[in-house]
Chains A and B, each alone.
Chain A
Amino acid sequence: MPGPEIVLITGTRKGIGRHLAEHFVRKGALVEGCSRTAPDWELENYTHHLADVTSEADVRRMMTSIRHRHNRLDVLVNNTGIASMNHTVLMPLESAARIMNTNFLGTFLMCRESAKLMRQQKWGRIINLGSIAVPMRLAGESVYAASKSAITTFTQILAGELAGWGITCNVVSPAPIETDLIRSVPPEKIQHILDRLPISRLGRYEDVAHVVDFFAHRASDAITGQVIYLGGA
């Protein structure tokens, strides 16, 4: 591989995305990130794009910028995600549509455009963020879990479609981590989820980074279409 790795991470303004951006920069990568609003931090070897992952025009503009400056993309991490915890009967249609759009269609769009760039070098790593809400079938998270379930199935089929281009596609599904995503969830509900996990602690950014490293590793070229659930879900 010529030069440092080019890594693109979505949703880098804060939380897991920001941690992953810092993690890859520490490892010597050139990191590209995006969010709809600007982050309040800067980092050497990190380039931020103001982009909405559900906008085809925004995503294409970002990919064109990456191609013009680097002419390749090695790793894509689709981290952007939103949630709205509601009983299904009380879930507004607009909220459900927003969750599906951001979580699933955003991931789809990023994968589609990234694969076109990765095909040039016949190598790439796509890592999508799933959730333990899928196997745990958490009440109150039906739409969020469905969006993550869609990501999982999509990734597994994509893995077959892109294997011939040397691109692997996998999913890391974290246990609850203290981010904005779960901030509105009552502590007793989080504890209830943790109590059901074999490893009954909150997830850490490092847990996610470790699995992302594993999937992104050059030696992981025979690992595709896989899902790793953190915490043992």
Chain B
Amino acid sequence: MQKTEITELILSCLRGNLEAAGPLPAEPLTSETRLLGRSAVLDPLGLVQLLVDVELQLDSAHGIAVTLADERAMSQKHSPFRSVGTLSDYIDTLIQEDPSHARA
């Protein structure tokens, strides 16, 4: 799975979650969109929902089983969940590290 596909998958899940909660933010959703912190487009529970949806989509659409909230993610100085782009980077790393998820 290419990184652009990962980013698109995250953005699609994010869009779905935001639309379910109300109108989309005025700013377009991109890899720069913040998921954590004061300028985040999600509240903490919204982030949990997003991570669950991304995990499910990775598995159901691409057969990639990863646990995003793993020990490494939680212990990093800078959370990999702070933006769409950093989350995409983190997922890409997890996929590359696991030989069972070899790129198609």
Interface residues of A (CB under 8 A from B): 56, 60, 64, 67, 115-117, 119-120, 164
Contacts and interface: CB of A to CB of B under 8 A. Distances in A.
A56 B65 contact: no
A119 B49 contact: yes
A164 B49 CA distance: 11
B2 interface: no
Contacts of A164: 45
A56 B60 CA distance: 18
**Main SS of the interface on chain B?**
helix
Contacts of A117: 56
Given A67-B60, A164-B45, A116 B55 contact: yes
Nearest to A68: B60
B56 A116 contact: yes
Interface of B: 45, 49, 52, 55-56, 59-60, 65, 67
A56 B56 CA distance: 16
The interface centre, meaning the residue of A56, A116, A117 with most chain B CB atoms within 10 A of its CB, is A116
A115 B52 CA distance: 9
Contacts of B49: 119
Nearest to A116: B52
A56 B70 CA distance: 11
A160 to B, nearest CB: 11
Given A64-B59, A116-B55, A117-B56, 14 more contacts: A56-B67, A60-B65, A60-B67, A64-B65, A67-B56, A67-B59, A67-B60, A115-B52, A116-B52, A116-B56, A119-B49, A119-B52, A120-B56, A164-B45
17 contacts: A56-B67, A60-B65, A60-B67, A64-B59, A64-B65, A67-B56, A67-B59, A67-B60, A115-B52, A116-B52, A116-B55, A116-B56, A117-B56, A119-B49, A119-B52, A120-B56, A164-B45
A67 B58 CA distance: 13
A82 B3 CA distance: 44
A164 to B, nearest CB: 7
Contacts of B67: 56, 60
A162 to B, nearest CB: 10
A132 B25 CA distance: 51
Contacts of B52: 115-116, 119
A120 B13 CA distance: 13
Contacts of B59: 64, 67
A64 B62 CA distance: 12
